[in-house]
Structure 1
Amino acid sequence: MAYYEKRGEAWRAQVRRKGYPTLSATFDTKAEAQRWAAGIEGDMSRSRYVDQREAERTSLAEALKRYRAEVSDHKKGAKQEAARIARWLEHPLADKSLAEITSSQLAGYRDERIALGASGATVRLDLAIISHLYTVASKEWNMDGLNNPVHNLRLPSTSKSRDRRPTTAELEKLYAAAADIHPELPVIIALAADTAMRRSELVLLRREQVKGKVAYLEDTKNGQRRAVPLSTRALALIKGLPARLDGRLFSLKPDSVSNYFALARDAAGIEDLRLHDMRHEATSRLFEMGLPVMEAAAVTGHKTLSQLARYTHLRPEDIADKLG
C-alpha cells in the first residue's frame, strides 16, 4: 500500500508490501509521487520488482572511482582509461545516481562532445567505459536489474579506416630526416615497417628476447605472448645497434618516438603519414610476399580476419600486374 505525505513544498511517497523492502521517494508534486508508487506496486504485483536502492544511492562519480580502482587499474590501457574517467568526473552527469541516468542524457553528452570536435571513435570509447561500468555494477556490485542506458543509445560513426602506405621514395626521405633527429629513430621506423611490431613493443624490446631469427614479445597490446619472425634486414638492423647496460635495444620512450616521427615527417616534406601506418605497411608486405592468412596473423598478432583486413592494403597496380 502507498502512503503520501506533504513535506513543505514536496510530496513524499512510501510503498509498503509484505515480502519487499519499504521504499520511499520525494517528488515535486503529488501526481509524480502517485505515478512512481503505482509503478512500484505494479512491478511487485507482477513479481517484476527489482531493488534499485543501491543504484539510487550510488552516484556515477562514486561508481567511476570504484571502477577505476577495481577494473581500469588492471588493464593494459589503464593510463588512457584513467584520463577518460577524469573527464567524466568533471561532467554534470557524474553527480547523478546510476539509476537516474538515461539514454537521452547520454545522447546529449554524445552530441556535446561531437560538437566540440571529438572524433566518433573517441566518443565511442568514452561511452564504452560507462557501458562496462553498468555491466560490472549489475553483475558484481549487487545492483541486479540495473538498466544500462548505453544499450539503447545510437553510437557515433567512426572515421574510415586508413589505407595510407608510404612509397619507397618517402621512406628514404623519412629515414634521412629521422637520422638528423635521433640515431635510433630510423631504425625504429624501419623495424616497424618490416616487422609490424607496435611502437611500445619495439621500444620495450630487450636483446635477450631476440633469439635466432625470432623476437619473442611478452608484453603485447592484447596481453598474449607473440613470436615475431625477423627478416634478414630486421636482424641486421638489430645487430647494428650498440649494446646497452639495461639490455633494451632502444633508449627512446614511446611518446618521444611519436613526437620525433612527426618532426621527421614534416622535415622530409611528407603529408598525412603516421607512425602507426608502418604497421599497415608491414602487414601489407606480408601478403605481397605470399604469406597465407594464418602465417601473416601469427606475425602481426591480429586475432580475427576482420582486424587483419583493416591493416592490409594491397596496391591495385601490383594485383593488375599479376593478372597479366
Structure 2
Amino acid sequence: MVPFFGGKILSEIRPQDVEAFRGQRRKKNGNPASVQTVNHDHIALKHCLNVAIRRGLLQSNPASKVPMPNPENERDRVLSDEEWSKLYQAAKPHLRPVLLTAYQLGQRFSEIVGLTWDRVDIKRGFITLRSLDTKTKTARQVPMTPDVKMTLQRLAKVRTLTTATTEAVSRHVFTYEGKPLQRVSRSFKTALKDAGISDFRFHDLRHCASTNLRRAGVDTATAMKIVGHKSEKMWKRYNAIEERDLTQAAQKVHKYLQENTRGTLAENIATYSANKRT
C-alpha cells in the first residue's frame, strides 16, 4: 500500500483511488494478486483510514465506499488433458519440473521456487512445507506423485554430479544455470504460445491439481490438505488425516493421469532425451 498511497494526503484519497489500487494489484505483471489477497489489502487500508477518522484526521472512509468482490467468484480455468500434454512438451527443460509440481501437487509458485533439498524426502515420498513457506502460514506435508518423485530423483542425481565438479551448488530444488529460479514468466509465456494455449495463468495450475484430485476420487478434506486450501472449520478435520491417506491420494491421482493423459511422464522424458541426442 505504501508505494501507491505513500505520497498522497489523507484528505485527497478518493474511492476511485482505492479502485485504482485494487486494479493495480490485480494487473501486476508476472504475479498478479488474487481477489482474496487484494481484499485483505483493502481491509487493511480501511482499518488504517478508520484509525485516521478516530484521530480526527479524516471525515469519512473512502475505502468503505468501494465494494469488495467475493473471491469465490474468481476464474477457475483448468487445462484439458490435451492442453496439459502440449504445454509440458512445449516447456523448456528447466520449466518442466516446475510445471509438473504445480500441476500434480497444486503447490503455489512461491512454495515451488523456495523449496530446498533439506525439505525433500524422496525415500518417504514427501515434501515438507514449513509455516513460513506457505501463504496460509500453516505447515503441511505434501505427498509426491510417482511422476514428481521420479523428476526429483533425476534432479537430485544431476545435483550430485554437479557437486563433484564444483563447490557452489544451490540448496534449491528448482534452478536455472545453477542458480535458484525466481521467475518463469517469460519461459511460461513462451510455452503457452508454442502450445497454442490462451487465457491461462501459472496460478491456474492449482485449479488443475484440485480438479484432478477430485476427479481421481480423493476425498475433499485430504485434497484440501494436499494443495493447502483451508478454512478454520475444515482445518479441524484435517488433523485426523494420516500420512497413509496422503500417500494413497498421490497414488490415485497418478493412476488417473496415466489413464487420461497421452503418454506417461517417463515416456515423454524418453522421447525428449532421444530427440535431444539426434
* Normalised TM-score (structure 1): 0.55
Match of 2:14 in 1: 106
The residue identity in structure 1 corresponding to 2:94 is E
- Deviations 1:68-111 (CA, angstroms, capped at 9, x unpaired): xxxxxxxxxxxxxxxx3112123xxx223xxxx49xx5324246
Tell whether the 8 Å contact from 1:199 to 1:254 is kept in structure 2 after alignment: no
CA gap of 1:278–1:305, structure 2 versus 1, over 3 A, is farther
CA gap of 1:269–1:216, structure 2 versus 1, over 3 A, is same
Match of 2:112 in 1: 202
Match of 2:174 in 1: 250
What is the aligned counterpart of 2:99 among 174, 189, 204?
189
The alpha-carbon deviation at position 158 of structure 1 amounts to: 6.5
Q: Does 1:225 align with 2:135?
A: no
Match of 1:168 in 2: 81
Q: Does 1:88 align with 2:5?
A: yes
The residue identity in structure 2 corresponding to 1:206 is T
User: Per residue, is there more helix in 1 or in 2?
Assistant: 2
Report the structure number with the largest CA radius of gyration: 1
- Any stretches of 5+ residues in structure 1 without a counterpart? 1-83, 309-324
The residue identity in structure 1 corresponding to 2:138 is Q
CA distance in 1, matches of 2:139, 2:214: 23
Cα RMSD (Å) of the superposition? 3.7
Spell out the pairing of 1:29-48 with structure 2 (5 A cutoff): none
Tell whether the 8 Å contact from 1:110 to 1:123 is kept in structure 2 after alignment: no
- Any stretches of 5+ residues in structure 2 without a counterpart? 28-33, 163-168, 236-278
Tell whether the 8 Å contact from 2:114 to 2:172 is kept in structure 1 after alignment: yes
Tell whether the 8 Å contact from 1:114 to 1:123 is kept in structure 2 after alignment: yes
CA gap of 1:87–1:187, structure 2 versus 1, over 3 A, is same
Higher relative contact order (CA 8 A, sep 6+): 2
CA distance in 1, matches of 2:23, 2:206: 31
Tell whether the 8 Å contact from 2:4 to 2:21 is kept in structure 1 after alignment: no
CA distance in 1, matches of 2:225, 2:141: 8
Match of 2:217 in 1: 290
CA gap of 1:269–1:132, structure 2 versus 1, over 3 A, is same
CA gap of 1:147–1:298, structure 2 versus 1, over 3 A, is farther
Match of 1:81 in 2: none
Tell whether the 8 Å contact from 2:106 to 2:210 is kept in structure 1 after alignment: yes
CA gap of 1:305–1:125, structure 2 versus 1, over 3 A, is closer
Match of 1:234 in 2: 148
* Normalised TM-score (structure 2): 0.63
CA distance in 2, matches of 1:115, 1:279: 23
Match of 1:31 in 2: none
CA gap of 1:126–1:223, structure 2 versus 1, over 3 A, is closer
CA distance in 1, matches of 2:25, 2:146: 45
The total of aligned residue pairs comes to 210
CA gap of 1:136–1:284, structure 2 versus 1, over 3 A, is farther
CA gap of 1:268–1:107, structure 2 versus 1, over 3 A, is same
CA gap of 1:199–1:306, structure 2 versus 1, over 3 A, is farther
CA distance in 1, matches of 2:152, 2:94: 11
The residue identity in structure 2 corresponding to 1:195 is L
The alpha-carbon deviation at position 234 of structure 1 amounts to: 1.3
Partner of 1:256, secondary structure, is coil
CA distance in 1, matches of 2:40, 2:184: 24
Tell whether the 8 Å contact from 2:221 to 2:234 is kept in structure 1 after alignment: no
The residue identity in structure 2 corresponding to 1:217 is L
